[in-house]
């Protein structure tokens, strides 16, 4: 009846996983991709970003070595070398993805795909019919409509800059913005970060947000809240940003990291009858089915949890459901995440604010300390660790950390939360000494509950 049992539009991490697993179950599968294999994460996202974070942290490592008796000689950073080595690693990964798909028997169709109808996909002049179709095209960076915005870049272009700027303005307050602020600063760039709200990283625990702001400012990043650029102007010396308070900033580079949008433009989704939410996200049920019963969507294009491992989990579950005889709904409760800021963030479960809304009473355990490494390095960098506990059940419902290796540490604790671990079980676990991570099993005294808000004058306390 059809050319393929399963046609995947988009060869990012989620689409590739869905295609491979479906093919492994015996389905006839094709993947269409207009760019390099691996999608945003591999090419202009998680992977090159983490490599850049590693590169940028060496400046502090060299300085810290002195306290341990090391004499480090003259140092020089070469941006083109980093970019070239990063490009070589990404090319290697592109090849890995191609071999994985071809080895599974998946046909790779190169070019931009578009839905013609519910069973037909066009790629250039070619037409392919499929019993089921998966939309896995991810998202794209969004730049606000500000005069002169064409002079700015996004994180995509940052990975391929021909030269490193001396001064950079980063506009935005999400994880991409704080990560690139740390990257550029560590590589010797004078960085100013602007965020239009009172505190960045909306959606993260407030103690995490405040701690990171303090630590970034200690490092010398010019972090400005309640600040935004209303216009950019190209000048002989670079770019001038005019701020909403009337002040101006001069820089060699301006980068917007102000959000992402589902990459659904021109896909023909509406023509095929696929319902979309305002902003372009594909509307799906908990198993990825759209309003058209043979068309599915996973990953960032659904604008739910925009994390690569979530897209991979969704793709795997969908393939098992459709072709493996194992109906599977992805469990997206307590999804851990990391921000590779400097210092880094690890988080899983509820924030304190969310926990106080959900439970009658919670206990908060928090510790802030200078890690052992910096007792000799002399660096003024502190860590913050936090547990959130439902008082009635004693279950740990949130873990948050700011500090070195936060993602590595919280990944393990995410398993504990998935298993429903209690604070008593954390307490009964023997710590590994001396480590920073042992703090999570030695937290004994909760912080005092916040004082209740004062009642309005004249309010009857008996009715409160």
As annotated, the active-site residues are: 433
b (16+ CB within 10 A) / e for 404-427: bbbbebbeebbebbeeebebeebe
Tokens, residue 403: 């500090």
Describe the crossing of helices 175-186 and 46-65 by its angle, rounded to 10 degrees.
40
Phi, psi (deg, nearest 5) at residue 67: -65, -15
| Residue 283 to residue 368: CA distance in whole angstroms | 42
Phi, psi (deg, nearest 5) at residue 236: -65, -30
Nearest to 404, CA basis, from 51, 92, 53, 27 = 53
The set of residues, in sequence order, having a beta carbon less than 8 Å from that of 294 and lying 6+ positions away, is: 118, 119, 131, 132, 133
Q: Quick check: 202 and 231 in contact, CB under 8 A?
A: no
3-state secondary structure of 461: helix
DSSP string, 375-439: HHH-----EEEEEEEETTT-BEEEEEEESTTHHHHHHHHHHHHHTT-BHHHHHHSPPPTT-SGGG
Nearest to 194, CA basis, from 234, 142, 241 = 241
Phi, psi (deg, nearest 5) at residue 162: -70, -25
| Angle at CA of residue 462, ends 456 and 464, nearest 5° | 50
E strands within 70-125? 107-110, 113-117, 120-123
Tokens, residue 408: 């590595």
CB atoms within 10 A of CB 198: 10
Tokens, residue 438: 């042992």
């Amino acid at each position: 009846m059809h050319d393929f049992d399963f046609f995947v539009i988009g060869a990012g991490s989620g689409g590739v996983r869905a295609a491979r697993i479906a093919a492994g179950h015996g389905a006839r599968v094709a993947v269409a991709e207009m760019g390099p294999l691996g999608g945003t994460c591999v090419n202009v996202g998680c992977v090159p970003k983490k490599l850049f974070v590693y590169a940028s942290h060496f400046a502090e490592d060299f300085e810290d070595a002195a306290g341990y008796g090391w004499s480090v000689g003259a140092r020089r950073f070469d941006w083109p070398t980093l970019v070239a080595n990063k490009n070589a690693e990404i090319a290697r990964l592109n090849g890995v993805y191609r071999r994985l798909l071809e080895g599974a028997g998946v046909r790779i169709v190169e070019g931009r795909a578009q839905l013609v109808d519910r069973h037909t996909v066009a790629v250039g002049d070619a037409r392919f019919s499929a019993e089921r179709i998966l939309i896995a095209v991810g998202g794209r960076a969004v730049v606000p409509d500000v005069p002169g915005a064409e002079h700015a870049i996004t994180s995509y272009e940052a990975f391929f800059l021909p030269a490193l700027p001396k001064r950079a303005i980063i506009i935005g307050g999400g994880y991409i913005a704080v990560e690139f602020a740390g990257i550029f600063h560590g590589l010797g760039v004078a960085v100013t970060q602007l965020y239009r709200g009172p505190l960045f990283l909306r959606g993260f625990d407030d103690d995490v947000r405040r701690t990171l702001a303090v630590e970034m400012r200690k490092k010398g990043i010019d972090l400005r809240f309640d600040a935004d650029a209303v216009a950019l102007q190209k000048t002989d010396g670079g770019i001038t940003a005019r701020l909403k308070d009337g002040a101006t900033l001069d820089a060699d580079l301006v980068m917007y990291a102000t959000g992402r949008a589902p990459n659904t433009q021109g896909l023909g989704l509406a023509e095929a009858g696929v319902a979309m939410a305002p902003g372009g996200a594909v509307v799906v049920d908990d198993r990825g089915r759209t309003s058209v019963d043979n068309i599915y969507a996973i990953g960032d294009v659904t604008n739910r949890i925009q994390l690569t491992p979530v897209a991979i989990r969704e793709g795997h579950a969908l393939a098992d459901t459709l072709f493996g005889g194992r109906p599977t709904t992805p469990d997206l409760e307590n999804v851990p995440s990391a921000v590779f800021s400097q210092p880094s963030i690890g988080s899983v479960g509820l924030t304190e604010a969310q926990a106080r809304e959900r439970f009658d009473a919670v206990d908060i355990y928090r510790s802030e300390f200078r890690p052992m490494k910096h007792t000799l390095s002399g660096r003024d960098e502190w860590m913050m660790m936090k547990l959130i506990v439902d008082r009635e059940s004693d279950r740990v419902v949130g873990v948050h950390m700011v500090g070195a290796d936060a993602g590595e540490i919280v990944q393990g604790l995410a398993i504990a939360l998935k298993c429903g671990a209690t604070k008593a079980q954390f307490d009964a676990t023997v710590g590994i000494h001396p480590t920073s991570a042992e703090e999570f099993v030695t937290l004994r005294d909760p912080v005092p509950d916040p004082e209740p808000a004062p009642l309005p004058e004249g309010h009857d306390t008996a009715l409160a």
